[in-house]
Structure 1
Amino acid sequence: MTATPVYAAVAMQLAARSIENTPDRTAAREQMLVMIAELEGKIRSSAIFIEQYAGSKVRLAVLPEYLLTSYPGRISIGDFADKAALEIDGPEYAALGALAERLNMFIAGNAYEVDAHFPGLYFQACFIIAPSGEVVLRYRRLNSMFAPTPHDVWSKYLDIYGIDGVFPVARTEIGNLAAIASEEILYPEIARALALRGAEIFAHSSSEIGSPLDTPKDIAKRARAQENMAYVVSANTAGITNTSLPLASADGNSMVADFKGRVLAESNSGETFTAFADIDLNALRTARRKPAMTNFLARQRLELFADVYQQESPQKADSLIQNNEIIVPDRDYFLRIQEQTIERLIKDGLI
């Protein structure tokens, strides 16, 4: 086993900036680029402090969920796609790539983006950008309450991107990286699928209510780390600006958890870099390769569950494909789908 140096990862707890009150697409795009420019000083100064304080070089910085735009609210799906969703080869990704290059580190984050294969829709995407400036991982959120997902256009999405595009893992010099979006940390199947494809570090971009009490997401972060023998680097927002919400409504509790589910660092409220910790890949890989009761990955018996998972899914695929055409839903569409799903599960005696 080749020795891998220990390095630091940091969850940058920063305030998201809503585009809700920007007058048009041009103003929204200008605001996003200004915010990307502001990131450099915050990440660079944080990395310098961490290296001086802890002696470890920062190789990975994780940014919070929808940092550049905040969530869509009641803006229609088509309008939000036009106003706020990034293009894969657009100027925002170019600016983020240049930022990663100047900082010489991996930057993980989350944004809404459009895809030419699915006109009128947008997906919530997690990305990881290498120090070369290249986007080495793009993961589209698979489970969302109020937005389109690849599962809603499943047959066409699989034809275009394949399963590697659904559950991507980037094999890099700092380990095998994967991304989990927001509340998806609550769904163990997503993290397990990525771990079974080799993921060692989960970059988790989130925007959630912080609390001194254990929240469901806090518990899930530790659980996903422990059961998959992986690090979780979880960056929460430090509130959301330019909106009518009270500023600190989604603030605090960024954390780094190790592969035993132990919290190595956790932030309080406000903009901060204090959720940082060492990533020790040698220790993780040694644990994964050691025969033991605690080797949860090696002890998986997936055939046991195959028949259960092949049963009819509560949420059906391809809900946004009708007569082989992509439809653009209204905001309440997804709530109606969930109501119908609950009715069917009650009828079938499953809930």
Structure 2
Amino acid sequence: MDQIESYRALALQVTCHAVNTLSDPVAVRERMRATIERLHAQIRASISFIGSDVRLVVLPEYFLTGFPLGESIAVWSEKAAIDPDGPEYAALGQIARDQQIFLSGNCYERDPHFPGLYFQVSFVIDPTGQVVLRYRRLNSMFAPTPHDLWERFLEIYGPESVFPVASTAIGRLACIASEEILFPEVARCLVMRGAEVLIHSSSEVSSPELTQKNIAKMARALENLAYLVSANSAGIEGIAIPFASVDGGSKIVDYTGRVLVEAGQGESMAAYAEIDLAALRRYRRRPGMNNLLSRQRFELYASSYASTSFYPPNTLLSGNPERRHFLRMQQETIDRLAQMGVI
């Protein structure tokens, strides 16, 4: 595998065409197909404009479908989730092959081991069209996660599946899903496994002011000495929420926490920048106060994590709940932490 130490990454800011109002399964799949065709054209045109050294293109969170608005978990799984070997991945793989890029995004995906449920999955497809990384979101407010099925998930997939890192021609890639940028442990565990480029598919509020997530993006890059490529939606079409509630601010952050480029609002290819892996690797190997990775003393914290439980695992092993299950579990966790004197 020939290594590419310098290339352009593109956080492609595109509109999400939601499927919530569609009741016909054929119409839902047709909308997904149309979305992928539109993305193929946009990616081809963007690379033609930016240059042939674009090697990584990142798409926003749930770019194929939007997010559930009132649909039950079982209904959304049937309606909007895709299969690991389904036609949608095949079509996305065709984009990666045609453009000779690594293509990353985030979608809802069914799992044959957990019928009636779905995971929110961030993926990376390589230039041969193969999925080389599949990260299942670990922290979610209203969706099933591997942690909710922890014992069974580990039995099936093993611990190495929890924080996957892909060694590729464009560096060691890892994915962080949406709101998980606010959970520093996710990025840290990925970097413990060698991640150099953190890929962040999101659909979030943008603002001229620093948002919580934008503060977190800079912090995750700085504290882990990693590039971060974050793609946001350019609005969501087809739902009652105002279109531009999640629109703008796709960005690329370097390993010092500096924002290299940031898009405004609307569909945009403006968020592209160089990923200089050689410079990153030199920085990580240089002694000094700024080399935060080499100064980490994880033993200091290990016993605190090992002996403490806040939100409990395995809460979905006994059945397929409605979404109110997650609010109930959060309230029970808050009550328990209050009784313990933690909060």
Once the 2 structures are TM-superposed, how far is the Cα of residue 4 of structure 1 from its aligned partner?
4.2
- For 2:83 and 2:111, locate their aligned partners in 1 and report how far apart those are by CA, in whole Å: 7
Contact preservation (8 Å) 2:3, 2:170: no
For the residue of structure 2 that corresponds to 1:292, the secondary structure is coil
Write the distance in 1 (CA, Å) between the matches of 2:25 and 2:228: 35
Q: 2: CA distance between counterparts of 1:3 and 1:151?
A: 35
Cα deviation digits, residues 198-230 of structure 1 (max 9, x gap): 000011000000000000000100000000000
* Alignment map for 1:32-181 (pairs within 5 Å): 32-51=32-51, 57-181=53-177
Which of these residues, 329, 336, 341, is aligned with residue 344 of structure 1?
336
Match of 1:265 among 258, 261, 264: 261
Q: Does 1:9 align with 2:33?
A: no
Q: Secondary structure at the match of 1:238?
A: coil
Helix, strand or coil at the partner of 1:35 = helix
Partner of 2:327: 335
Alignment-mate amino acid for residue 176 of structure 2: I
The equivalences for 1:297-308 within 5 A come to: 297-308=293-304
CA distance in 2, matches of 1:294, 1:4: 26
SS at 1:142 equivalent: coil
Write the distance in 2 (CA, Å) between the matches of 1:125 and 1:4: 26
CA distance in 1, matches of 2:308, 2:25: 41
State the Cα distance separating 1:24 from its structure 2 match: 2.2
* Alignment-derived partner of residue 253 in structure 1: 249
**C-alpha distance in 2 between matches for 1:119 and 1:72:** 18
CA contact (8 A) 1:3 1:282 kept: no
Any conservation in 2 of the 1:4–1:282 contact (CA below 8 Å)? Answer: no
Between the aligned partners of 1:42 and 1:150, the Cα distance in structure 2 is 33
Offset of 1:299 from its aligned partner? Answer: 1.0
Runs ≥4 in structure 1, deviation > 6 angstroms? none
Partners of 1:107 and 1:145 lie apart in 2 by: 27
Number of residue-to-residue matches in the alignment: 342
AA of the residue aligned to 2:137: R
- The alpha carbon displacement at 1:5 in A equals 3.4
One-letter amino acid matched to 2:285: R
5 Å matches for 1:221-232?
221-232=217-228
Match of 1:296 in 2: 292
Matched-pair contact (CA < 8 Å) for 2:195–2:226:
yes
The residue number in structure 2 matching 1:217 is: 213
Distance (whole Å) between structure 1 residues aligned to residue 309 and residue 23 of structure 2 = 41
Query: Cα distance, 1:311 vs. partner?
Result: 2.1
Q: How far, CA to CA, are the matches of 1:331 and 1:27 in structure 2?
A: 25
Check whether the contact 1:229–1:260 (CA below 8 A) recurs between aligned residues.
Answer: yes
What is the aligned partner in structure 2 of residue 241 from structure 1?
Answer: 237
More displaced 10-residue stretch of structure 1: 306-315 or 100-109 = 306-315
Counterpart residue identity of residue 315, structure 2: S
Q: Which residue of 2 aligns with 1:194?
A: 190
The match for 1:317 is 313
Residue number in structure 1 paired with 2:19: 19
| Whole-angstrom CA distance in 1 between matches of 2:34 and 2:47 | 21
State the one-letter code of the partner of 2:13: Q
> How has the CA–CA distance of structure 1 residues 319 and 95 changed in structure 2, closer, same or farther, with 3 Å as cutoff?
same
1:155-186 Cα offsets, whole Å, 9 max, x none, are 11111111221100000000000000001000
**Kept after mapping to 2: 8 A contact 1:178/1:203:** yes
Amino acid in structure 2 at the alignment position of 1:333: H
CA drift of 1:27 comes to 1.2
Report the 3-state secondary structure (helix = DSSP H, G, I; strand = E; otherwise coil) of the residue aligned with 1:272: coil
Identity of aligned residues (%): 54
SS, match of residue 330 in structure 1: coil
- Could you tell me how far 1:279 is from its partner in structure 2? 0.2
Deviation at residue 298 of structure 1 after TM alignment: 1.1
What is the one-letter code of the residue matched to 1:6?
Answer: S
Q: Is contact 2:3–2:169 with CA below 8 Å preserved after alignment?
A: no
CA contact (8 A) 1:235 1:255 kept: yes
